[in-house]
Every structure is written in C-alpha cells, then in structure tokens.
Amino acid sequence: MNLFKAVRAIFAASTFIVLVAPALAELPNVAKPTPDKATLDYGLKATKLAGGWYVIAGANDDFSQANGCNIINTGFYMDDSGVYVINTGTSRIYGEQQRTLINSVSKNKPVKQVVALNLHPDYFLGNQAYPKEALAATKLTMQGIKAEAALYETNLYRLCGDWMKGTESVFPVQTILPGNFNKLGDKTIQTLELKGHTDSDLVLFDPESKVMWAGGLVFYKRIVTTPHAQLKPWIESLKTLQAMKPKVVVPSHGPLSWGTEAIDQTLDYLSWLDKRLTDAANMGEEMNDVMKKGAPERFRNFAAYPAEFYRNVTNLYPLYEKQALGGF
C-alpha cells in the first residue's frame, strides 16, 4: 500500500509539471543583440512573439559605446498588408539596420506606421530610415520631441561616438489619438495614453494574444530612468496595467516578462522610492546622504545600479524637499 501511494504521488507530481509547462513555454527565448563597434553593426535579431508580434531586444544596460547605446526593446507587427514598427532606436544606423532586419522577416512588405511610445531619444532617433508620412506619436510626445531633440542629439553624440554618425531628428507627423481600441492593419489593439515616466506614455495591448508593449512605464531588472518622471502618477499607471492582466509584457528596458512580473517589480521599486524620498525630505536629510544609504538589497542587482539610482535621487529629491517645506 505504501508503494502504491508513493507511485501515485510521483504520477501526480509529473502531471502537474506537464500542465504548467505549456504556459511557461509561451515566453520565448529572446535573441540578444551582438554589437560590433569596429563595424558599427548592432547585431540586431528579431524574436517572434504570439499574435504576429516581433521584438528586437536591446541590452539591459546603460548607454555605452560597447553596446552601441542600444538599450531599448523595439519591435513590429506584421500582417498581409504591411508592417507596423514600434520605436526606432537611438541612431540613423540603428534605424537602417532595424529596417533591413524587418524587411528580411516581412519579405519587403511596406511600412504602414512607425510608432514612438514616448519622447525619449531611443524611441525616435532612428526615424530617418522610414517614410516621414508613416511616423506617428501622441500630440504630447510630438511636442516633447520637438522641444528636446537638439539636446538629445548633442548628448548622444558625446556618449555614443561613431554610432551616431549622420543622425538627425525626424519628427513624427501622424497624431495618435489613444482610445479604447484602435487598428494596426487587421489587428484591433487597445491603446492607452498614461503618464508618470513622461507626460505621455503610450501603451499598446493586444487583447487577443495579451501581449503588452508597456513602453517606458515598465523597467524589468533595471533601475528606472527619471528625467521627466512624476512618481505618483507613474504608480497609478502601473496599477492600471496590472488590472489588464497581460500574458507577456515587453518593457522598453529589460527582458520580457511573463504575466505582470515586470509591472509588479517596477511598482515595488517606485513605491519604495516615493516613500524613501518623502521620509528623507520630512526628516531633513541631505541629498548626498540619501544617495549614500542606497537602495534595499533586492534592487541592488538591477542593471544600471547604482548610477541610475543616483540620477533618480538627483532628478527627484529637490521636489520632495520643496513639498516638505510646504511648497516654498
């Protein structure tokens, strides 16, 4: 009888593994870029996701000449009529190599639309590779790009060197009007304009495949960037994304995640950071002391720590100090 129970227990455990394996298998092994600085080859690779989506992964790192300053996940959707591109990377060279890769996958289907999910430079500085009439963004993102583009170019030429050769900003001309549902070719997608990382954070969600392009609202295994951030609206935006119950989340920075794991992790970090800065300001701590004490252990193995954490404090703490003094 004991032997029978043991065999039955082993069989039950095996059955459980078989049941959960297909769900985990839906998250693909994403191909990583293999940049070559000598030849200015980004080594871009496309990985197919569910629902006709493809992701072109960037390095989970900070800007450097070693990685070509390619730290963003871009991608595309393809149907019978054409291709819809999401983000175009940090440079003209990136955009051209991205388009060559897309052409090889799509068999040279026409590019119908190129979407910048927010105003930051790695979302649009590859736009030169695409037809101007296809370039699209929200109204606020278009305004932000026009205001910040010259500064972005100057900073990235300094940081990225030859990878930036010939890069000039090309502004989006199509205005995206987010609503409950919009069309990308034959696909109906949910488009949300949220805020927090920037004033206009566009999120694309495919309700059929449950693939979510979360843009700059979600960072996975990486410290967030905050040059235009407002933490409290950002936290609320993440709660909205959690409620949508995605199966696969494509963050703009960091690896893909299953379910809401990347959203949860970003929310955990931002909630901690908001409370830490609030408490520090109320206690009158100096900015240098906040940076010196650092983040909890669970965040210290994230990419770009501690440098990006220091930038978080530098960008955000003065506002918290002002609020602690009653807004003066």
Instruction: Give the model's confidence band at 26: pLDDT under 50 very low, under 70 low, under 90 confident, else very high.
Output: low
- Quote the pLDDT of residue 107: 97
108 lies in some domain: yes
7 lies in some domain: no
Encode pLDDT of 207-217 as tens digits: 999 999 999 99
51 lies in some domain: yes
CATH number for the domain spanning 61: value is 3.60.15.10
- Quote the pLDDT of residue 12: 36
117 lies in some domain: yes
219 lies in some domain: no
User: What average pLDDT score do residues 285-298 get?
Assistant: 98
- Quote the pLDDT of residue 90: 97
- Quote the pLDDT of residue 25: 43
Average pLDDT, the chain: 92
Encode pLDDT of 250-284 as tens digits: 999 999 999 999 999 999 999 999 999 999 999 99
Instruction: Give the model's confidence band at 179: pLDDT under 50 very low, under 70 low, under 90 confident, else very high.
Output: confident
- Quote the pLDDT of residue 201: 98
Please tell me which residue, 22 or 180, carries the higher pLDDT value. 180
Instruction: Give the model's confidence band at 5: pLDDT under 50 very low, under 70 low, under 90 confident, else very high.
Output: very low
Whole-structure pTM value: 0.91
Question: How many domains does the chain divide into?
Answer: 1
274 lies in some domain: no
215 lies in some domain: no
Residue ranges making up the domain that contains 149: 27-176
| Cβ contact 212:205 at 8 Å | yes
Instruction: Give the model's confidence band at 182: pLDDT under 50 very low, under 70 low, under 90 confident, else very high.
Output: confident
230 lies in some domain: no
Q: Which of 8-12, 88-92, 324-328 has the highest mean pLDDT?
A: 88-92
- Quote the pLDDT of residue 18: 30
